[in-house]
Structure 1
C-alpha cells in the first residue's frame, strides 16, 4: 500500500512554496535595520499580528496531528485542541501586555531586564535554543510525512524543502519578512482544512460509500475494513487484535519463523510484526490497532477509559498546553512586535477567536477518518489521515483536488511555524552569542536551520502532536514560572529563577531522553515519562519560590521601577524599549524614528 503520485498535490505544494517565497521577498525589501529583523520595528497592527500569531502557532501538530490523534484516541484527544487554544487565555490574562511594556526583544532580554542577571540570561538563551530546536523537529519530520503521502519519495526531501524556503525568507528580512507571510498562511490553512471538511461532510451525509455504514462509530465493536486491504508494515509494530480474525500474512508474526509466502493465520490479542511484513485483510474484517490505542468504538467514544495512568496523562497534557503556550519563545516574540501593551492584549483576544474557528475542523476529519481510512490504525501513521481521507471518500479527480488543497495547507503549516521558530532562534543566537548585527542575524539563520534539519533526518519520527506536547511541557516548566512570577511577584530573584528553570527543564529533558530510549527498547516508559508536566511544572514553581525566599537579599534594586513600567497603562508613557543602541550601527538607529505605530 505505497503512496500514489498525486500531481495536483505536488502542484499545490509548489504553489504554496512559491507564494511564500514571493511574499517574503517583497516584505524583506523593507527590512534594513536590526530592529526590523528582530521585532519588525514594533509597528505590526493587532489584527495582522493576530493572523500572523495564529499562522505561526497552527503547526503540523494542529493541521495533521490533531486529526490523527482523534482517529486513534478519540475523545481523549479532544484535550489537545482545547489546551492549544486555552493557553492564549492565560497568556492574555497574565503575560501579553506586561511583556510588551517591558521593552524587551526576546525572552533572554526580558529575564535580564527584570532580574538584572547576565548569568540568568545565558540560562534562558540555552532553553530558548533547546525549545526551538525540539519544536522544529516535528515540523520538518511532518513535512517529510506529508510528501511521502502524496508521492513515492524519501522523508528527508520534504524536510529539506521546508528548511530551504524558510531559511531564504528569514535570511532576507527576519521578522519583517515573515509577518505578512504568516498572516497569509493562516487564512490559507483555514481554507485548506475548512473546504475539504465541508465537502467531505456533505459526501458523508449524502450517502458516500455504501459499503461504509454511517452509524458504525456508534457500535461497540472494532472498526472494520470496507474492502479488501493490504497493509505494508514499514516500522516494527505491536498490533492488538481485540476481535480475532483470519488474515493473510507475508512475513513473520511475533516470534514465529516467517512462512514461505503469504500464510492464512488466525490472530488474536497482541502480536508483533517486524518491518517488511505485509498483511492482507478481507472486507468486513475487524481492524487491529497499535497496542495502547482504543480497540473498540465504545472505548474510542468515551474519555478516561484508561484508568489512573490515562487520567494522569490527560491532566498533565492540560497543564502543559495551558501553561506552555506562554513559555514558547516563537509565540512570545510576536508580541514584541506590537506598538503597545493594549494592542498586545487585543492581539491575543483575536488569536483566541481565530484558533477556536480553526480547531472545529480537525475533529470532524478525525471522526471521518476512523470510518474511511482505518488502515492507518494498523500502521500507526495516523498523522497522514488529513492527506489520505479525501481520496478515500471521493475517489477520482475530485478527491485528488481536495487532497491537493489539504497538502498545500499542511505545507503552509510547516512553513509558517518553522519561520517563527527560525526567527526566534536566530534572534537569540545573533544577540546573545554573536554581536547583534544584521550580518550576525543572517549567519545565525543558517546555523539555526541546518542543525534541526540534521536531527530531523537522523531521529525516528513519532506522533507529531505527542512530540509537540513534550515541547509544551518544557516551556511550561522553564519560562512559565519566570514570566508569571517575574511579572506579578516582586520578590523573585535571579538565583531563584535560574534554579527553577534548570530543575524544571532538566526533569523534562530527562523524561524526553528516557522516552526516546524507551521507544527503541520496547516502550517500557511509564506515563510520567511520556507527559511529565503535572510533576515538573509544580516542582519548577516551588523551587523558584523557595530559592527566591532563601536569597531575598539578591532582589534587584530597580524592581519597583521595572514592575511599574510593565503594569502602568500605556498613555502614562512609561513604556521604553531596552537598550536599542546595543543592536546595530549608528545609521541603523537613526532610521528607527521613521516607523509609525499602527493599530
Structure 2
C-alpha cells in the first residue's frame, strides 16, 4: 500500500507541475504564430531539451528496458537507432527545412512542389502517424496506473494523460508545450538516472534483496529466486530449455489443468491461455516467450538467425531514416529562428539523448536477474516499474519505484503533447481555417481519437508498436524530404506516388500484423519490420515517377532551393506562416524577435 501511495503522489506532482507550467505560459499566446511555431524565437538549448523531452517517449523510458530484458543484445539497436536518427537529420534536413519557411510537413510539400493535392495527402499521413504514435503512449500510461493501483482499469491512465495534454495544448499551443517539454526532459533524466545509480550500487555491493543464482554470461536460463505465482493475462507461447515442475490452474495446450504439471524441452513450446495461473518453485528455470533467447549466454550474443538478422537491419533503417519523417519532431525545428539554430539544436539533442539511453539499458540487464518472471507473462514493459521492489531493501524500493513511475508519466505527457500539437497544427491549417479557435478544436480531436483507440486496441510491446511508426515515417516523408531538399528534379506526382506506395505497404503490414496477433502470431519478420523493403521501394517509386513526369517540375524550383541552401546571413528566409496567417502587427512583432544561444 505504501508503494502505491508514493507512486500516486509522484504522478500527481508531475501532473500538477505540467499543468502549472502550461498555464503560466498559456497566458501570453494570442496569435496563430504563437500556437503553431512559438513565434520562431525558441533558443537552441531550450529547444533541444524540448525536442528530447517529447522524443523520449514510453518506448524510451520503459519499452527499451523491457526489450533488453527479453531480447538482450538484439534490443540495443533501439536506443542506438533512436539517437543516431538525429545525426542524419542534422546532416541532411534540419537547416534546409527551417530555411524553407514552412511550418508543418504538409506546408513544406506545398512550398517545395507547389501542389495542394500533395499537401492534403501529406496532412493525412501526418494525422495517421501522430495517432499511431500517441496510442502506445496512452496504453503505457494505463499499464503504469494498473501497477500502482491494483484493480484500476487501463483506461484510467490513458484518460489522465489525455486530459492534462489537451489542457496544456488547448491553452498555450507550441509556446506552452515548449516550456513543459524542456522541463520534462530534465525531470525524466533525473527520474531514470538516480534510481539506476542506486540500484547499480546495491547490485555491485551485494546490498540488494534476493539472491542471483545465474550470471548473465552463463549458458543457463534465468531462475526464480523464490516461490513465484503468476497470472497470465494474455495468451502466451512459452519455451523451456530444462525440465520444469510447476502448478497450473487454467488452460495449457488447449486442455484444462488444475494441479502439478511437468514441462520438458521435448514438448516445448507450451500454449498458455489468458486467465491461467502458474506457480513456480524457487530455483526453477524461467520459461520464456517463444522467439526470445532462452538462456543468458544467447541473450548476451547477437542472434545469427536469418529472420532475426533481417529484422535487425530493417529496424536500423527504420530508426535511422524514420526520425526525419516524424511530424512531432520536425515541427520543433520550425520554432528556431534560422537554419544555423536548427542545426545547433540537433547537435544538442544528440548529446542529451546519448546520456539518457545509458540508463534503460542498465535497468534491462538488472531486470534479467531480478524480475525474470516477466519473461513468462510477456509483460516485460513493466520491468522498470517492478525492479526496485525486488532489488532495493525496505522503504528504499517503494521510493525508487515512485520516482521511476513519475518519470514514466512525464514521458507519456511530453511525447503525447508534441504529437497532439503537430496533429492539431495540421488539422487546423489544412482542414479548418487556421484560426486560434480552430487550433483548439483540432486539439480536442487529436487527443480524443487516440484515447478511443487506446481503449479499444489491446496493448502490445510498446517499442515494437512505436517502431512501426518510424517505419511509416521513413517510408512516406523521408524520401520526400531528402529528395525535396537535395534533388531538383523531384515532382509532386513522384512524391505522391512514393508516399502512397511506401505508406500503403506499411499499412498493409500493420493490418496483417493485427490479424496475426489474433490468429496465432504467424506473421513473418518481413511484416513485423518491413522497412528494409518499404523504404527502398518508396525511394525508387519517387525517382522513377519523377523522371517520367519532368513537365511537373515547379517553375520556381531554383528559387526554392536557393532559399533552402543559402547561408542564413543572406536573408532569403521567408516564413510562409506569416504570409498566410500573419497580420501587420504579427510581422512587426516577429521582426523584433531575438534569438539567444
Q: By the TM > 0.5 criterion, same fold?
A: yes
CA contact (8 A) 1:4 1:151 kept: no
Q: Which runs of 5+ in 1 are unaligned?
A: none
TM-score computed with the length of structure 1 as normaliser: 0.97
CA contact (8 A) 2:209 2:391 kept: no
Q: In structure 1, which of residues 408, 411, 430 is the aligned counterpart of residue 428 of structure 2?
A: 430
Distance 2:343 2:536 in 1: 26
Distance 2:168 2:208 in 1: 44
Label 1:116 to 1:210 Cα distance change in 2 as closer, same or farther (>3 A). Answer: closer
Distance 1:266 1:183 in 2: 51
The answer to whether the aligner puts 1:444 opposite 2:474 as a matched pair is no
The answer to whether the aligner puts 1:551 opposite 2:563 as a matched pair is no
Distance 1:214 1:553 in 2: 70
| Number of residues of Structure 1 aligned to a counterpart in Structure 2 | 594
CA contact (8 A) 1:437 1:584 kept: no
> Helix, strand or coil for the counterpart of 1:258?
strand
Distance 1:364 1:211 in 2: 18
Partner residue in 1 for 2:470: 472
Q: In structure 1, which of residues 509, 513, 522 is the aligned counterpart of residue 511 of structure 2?
A: 513
The answer to whether the aligner puts 1:183 opposite 2:182 as a matched pair is yes
> Helix, strand or coil for the counterpart of 1:243?
coil
CA contact (8 A) 1:34 1:588 kept: no
Deviation at 1:187, TM superposition (A): 0.4
Distance 2:256 2:200 in 1: 45
The answer to whether the aligner puts 1:378 opposite 2:387 as a matched pair is no
Deviation at 1:158, TM superposition (A): 0.4
The answer to whether the aligner puts 1:250 opposite 2:231 as a matched pair is no
Partner residue in 1 for 2:526: 528
The answer to whether the aligner puts 1:37 opposite 2:35 as a matched pair is yes
Deviation at 1:587, TM superposition (A): 5.7
Partner residue in 2 for 1:408: 406
Deviation at 1:266, TM superposition (A): 4.0
Distance 2:358 2:282 in 1: 32
Label 1:579 to 1:359 Cα distance change in 2 as closer, same or farther (>3 A). Answer: closer
Q: Over residues 154-184 of structure 1, what are the superposed CA-to-partner deviations in whole Å (9 max), with x where a residue is unaligned?
A: 1100000000000000000100001010000
Partner residue in 1 for 2:352: 354
Q: Over residues 344-372 of structure 1, what are the superposed CA-to-partner deviations in whole Å (9 max), with x where a residue is unaligned?
A: 00000000000000000111100000000
Deviation at 1:592, TM superposition (A): 3.8
Q: Over residues 486-535 of structure 1, what are the superposed CA-to-partner deviations in whole Å (9 max), with x where a residue is unaligned?
A: 00000000000000000000000000111011001100111000000000
Deviation at 1:591, TM superposition (A): 4.4
Q: In structure 1, which of residues 495, 498, 504 is the aligned counterpart of residue 496 of structure 2?
A: 498
Measured on the aligned residues, the alpha-carbon RMSD in Å equals 1.4
CA contact (8 A) 1:246 1:267 kept: no
Q: How does 1:517-596 map to 2 (within 5 A)?
A: 517-578=515-576, 580-583=578-581, 591-596=589-594
Deviation at 1:218, TM superposition (A): 1.5
Deviation at 1:396, TM superposition (A): 2.5
CA contact (8 A) 2:105 2:122 kept: yes
Q: Over residues 34-53 of structure 1, what are the superposed CA-to-partner deviations in whole Å (9 max), with x where a residue is unaligned?
A: 00000000000000000000
Partner residue in 1 for 2:342: 344
Deviation at 1:593, TM superposition (A): 4.0
Deviation at 1:23, TM superposition (A): 0.4
Distance 2:385 2:7 in 1: 9
Distance 1:425 1:492 in 2: 26
CA contact (8 A) 1:316 1:531 kept: yes
Q: Which runs of 5+ in 2 are unaligned?
A: none
Distance 2:595 2:197 in 1: 39
CA contact (8 A) 2:221 2:295 kept: yes
